[in-house]
Amino acid sequence: MRLIIAEKPSLARAIAEALPGTSRKQEGAIVAGDTTVTWCLGHLLEQAPPDAYDPALKQWRLDALPILPERWKLTPRPKARGQLAVIRRLLKQADEVVHAGDPDREGQLLVQEVIEHLGWKGRVSRLLVSDLNRPAVQRALARLEDNARYQPLYRAAESRARADWLYGINLTRAWTLTGRQAGHDGVLSVGRVQTPVLGLVVRRDNEIRDFVPRPFFVLWADLAVAHGQLRAWWVPGERHPLDDQGRLLDRAPAALLAERLPGAEGRLTRLQSQEKRQAAPLPYSLSALQVDAARRFGLSAKAVLDTCQALYERHQLITYPRSDCRYLPEEHFASARATLAGACGGDETLRGWLAGADFTRRSRAWNDKQVGAHHALAPTGRPMDPARLSTTEAKVFRLIARNVLAQFYPALATREVKAEFTLLEETFRTRGQVVLDPGWKPLFTTREEAPPLPPLTEGEGCRVQEAGVEDRETRPPEPFTDASLIKAMMNIARYVEDPAVRRTLREHDGLGTEATRAGIIETLVERGYLVRRAKALRATRLGSALIASLPEAVGRPERTALWEQRLAAIAEQEAEPAPFLAALVADLRGLLASADARRLQEALATARGEEGPAAPARRQRSGPRRGSGKRASPRRRKASS
């Protein structure tokens, strides 16, 4: 018997439907000919709790830290024991095993750890499915690979799980127990990803809180030129008081000039005109989609992820959604016309966009060199019926289809014009844009463009019709939203202060993964560290106090970003897990030594004295209770995020 182990039931059903012959269901599996397809339910196993290594570790004690397992153990998740028993029974009957986890690091881990935990010693093949439609699954079944090829990916995922356990368990216990000494009754959860994300929000909130607005002044002049009118802006020289962005800090010079300008004549002394072509935005990765959907529809990152999972699993309208790639396989180009025609025919908006597509065009999106384990989100070709989708599902699907359709539209062609005028021996500048070919742009916006500048000729004269001074103030940075926080997690190098570290970060490095970023935000909200106010994400008093009490490096992104680089090196066979974990343990010892009850007490007191959203006081069963003497374990709060 050939046994295929899928990551989840929906994938197992898709695989069974793609196998030849009729299929029949049995407990926890589907049988089709000589092949049986079973499934995991996400992770069936989890890292064992500390007391699995030593019963004494069930009690939280500072002198027991750090907890460092000598031989790692996995334990079944409580609700997974039944399915784990089914897989155990089927493995005993199998002659061949096929690993059908999702095509990513976690997918590799969660199926392979079950196979190894249950003691299978035979050969394992790897099935990679990124599209649940039957033809796509059949193609995947026809090109099985040796799972040994993906062993480095498994080792990287296993190293990540162990490192997260070490970091989360030890620091969460240390700060929770220190918090108890400081008078805080509850768990203070620390994680290698969630805490730097919280740190981003806390620092942004502090910048907003501490921001002192500064006035500055701008002078405009409405000019009559040969073929119309335009507004230009004064460029004050260095003889005037300016800030580091060239803004005028004293109103008097602008006011004096404004009085002299009406009726003054001048000349267009410099004219620049440049034509530009801009290709369509690439198809979406999950994070890029979450950013756009948050901006357009106000959806949380988790809502977008859940919607994509429904479009992928229940409706089978899109390809695998938890992708960090924005490119498509070159082989998909030939079938794109048929795929998009099938996907878009049932929706009026999509039909209109489809009608304008030119399928002889080939954009840079089709690039095998940029495609890894999975490709960008794309329609599968199954017809979209708006009546069968929720409003949110329809909106998100249109975005995904639109970005693929846009690859078959011309580039946006514009002419950008910059003009510099001299009036009363002072410089005034203006700029404008003319759309030569809207190309793909109408698929993305219906907004009217700003009116273009009138035709201009260098050297032509001008006359001031009116002038005025505007009083303005510098503005604080905007608070984070789901969209901007996801974008910050994707582009974390922008928030790294150390120039040497920033240089080492590659463009795709970030905090979390496509699959986890939405969950990290929701976890911080659920644990009372962040709160949503309208679209803004703000730190609570408890969240601010936690960051203030931790060593600065724990709340900053550098460590996590470099972790991801080291894990990538393990996955690419450029590094081994042991040195990575050894360095982590050494780092951990130093962090534990810095736990300070007085510092935490001061941070909590300071936070209580601030205005802002207060975190609800909650007793959390996974933490120690003051004076109870009862044992407690953080098992229920994952330390991996």
Q: What is the pLDDT of residues 513-572, one digit of tens each?
A: 787 899 999 999 999 999 999 889 999 999 999 999 999 999 998 888 788 788 888 988
| pLDDT given at position 509 | 62
**Lowest-confidence pick of 1-15, 126-140, 328-342, 495-509:** 495-509
3-state class (DSSP) for residue 291: helix
User: What percent of the chain stands above pLDDT 70?
Assistant: 93
| Cα→Cα distances 525→256, 317, 532, 633, 636, Å | 53, 31, 8, 22, 17
**Lowest-confidence pick of 43-47, 106-110, 423-427, 632-636:** 632-636
Question: Which bin fits 541, alpha (ψ -120 to 50), beta or left (φ > 0)?
Answer: alpha
| pLDDT given at position 506 | 59
Q: What is the pLDDT of residues 230-243, one digit of tens each?
A: 999 999 998 999 99
CA–CA separation, 23 and 479 (whole Å): 54
Contact 146, 153 (CB under 8 A): no
CA–CA separation, 85 and 31 (whole Å): 17
- 606 pLDDT band, cuts 50/70/90, is confident
Residue 448 pLDDT > 70, yes or no?
no
**Lowest-confidence pick of 169-178, 460-469, 567-576, 584-593:** 567-576
- Residue 286 belongs to what H/E stretch? helix 286-297
Contact 294, 304 (CB under 8 A): yes
Strand order in the sheet with 23-26: 23-26, 29-32, 35-39, 2-6, 96-100, 124-126, 145-146
CA–CA separation, 75 and 73 (whole Å): 7
**Length of the chain measured in residues:** 641
| pLDDT given at position 108 | 94
Q: What is the pLDDT of residues 362-420, one digit of tens each?
A: 999 999 888 876 799 999 999 999 999 999 999 999 999 999 999 999 999 999 999 99
3-state class (DSSP) for residue 640: coil
**First and final C-alpha spacing in the chain:** 39
CA–CA separation, 586 and 558 (whole Å): 17
Contact 513, 103 (CB under 8 A): no
Q: State phi, psi for 403 to the nearest 5 degrees.
A: -70, -25
- 617 pLDDT band, cuts 50/70/90, is very low
CA–CA separation, 82 and 36 (whole Å): 17
Give the CB-side neighbour count of residue 556, counting CA atoms within 13 A.
Answer: 14
Residue 612 pLDDT > 50, yes or no?
no
| pLDDT given at position 421 | 98
Nearest to 187 by CA among 636, 641, 640, 537: 636
Q: How, if at all, do strands 228-234 and 215-225 pair?
A: antiparallel
Handedness of CA 308, 314, 320, 326 (dihedral sign): negative
User: What percent of the chain stands above pLDDT 90?
Assistant: 75
Residues with a known catalytic role = 320
Question: Tokens at residue 470, please?
Answer: 């505007």
Question: Tokens at residue 552, please?
Answer: 């600065």
| pLDDT given at position 633 | 38
| pLDDT given at position 627 | 36
| pLDDT given at position 619 | 37
Question: Tokens at residue 5, please?
Answer: 């182990």
Q: State phi, psi for 242 to the nearest 5 degrees.
A: -125, 155
Residue 638 pLDDT > 50, yes or no?
no
pLDDT, average across residues 612-623? 41
Question: Tokens at residue 456, please?
Answer: 């201009």
| pLDDT given at position 631 | 35
| pLDDT given at position 641 | 43
Question: Tokens at residue 325, please?
Answer: 């790639």
Q: Crossing angle for the helix pair 301-309 and 391-405, nearest 10 degrees?
A: 80
pLDDT, average across residues 326-345? 93
pTM above 0.75, yes or no: yes
Contact 289, 399 (CB under 8 A): yes
Peptide bond just before 66 cis, omega within 30 deg: yes
Domains within the chain, CATH numbers bracketed: 2-143 (3.40.50.140), 157-210+479-608 (1.10.460.10), 215-279+413-473 (2.70.20.10), 286-408 (1.10.290.10)
Nearest to 189 by CA among 166, 173, 165: 173
Nearest to 440 by CA among 418, 411, 462, 472: 411
CA–CA separation, 367 and 327 (whole Å): 6
**Lowest-confidence pick of 4-13, 477-486, 631-640:** 631-640
Nearest to 158 by CA among 490, 588, 636, 581: 581
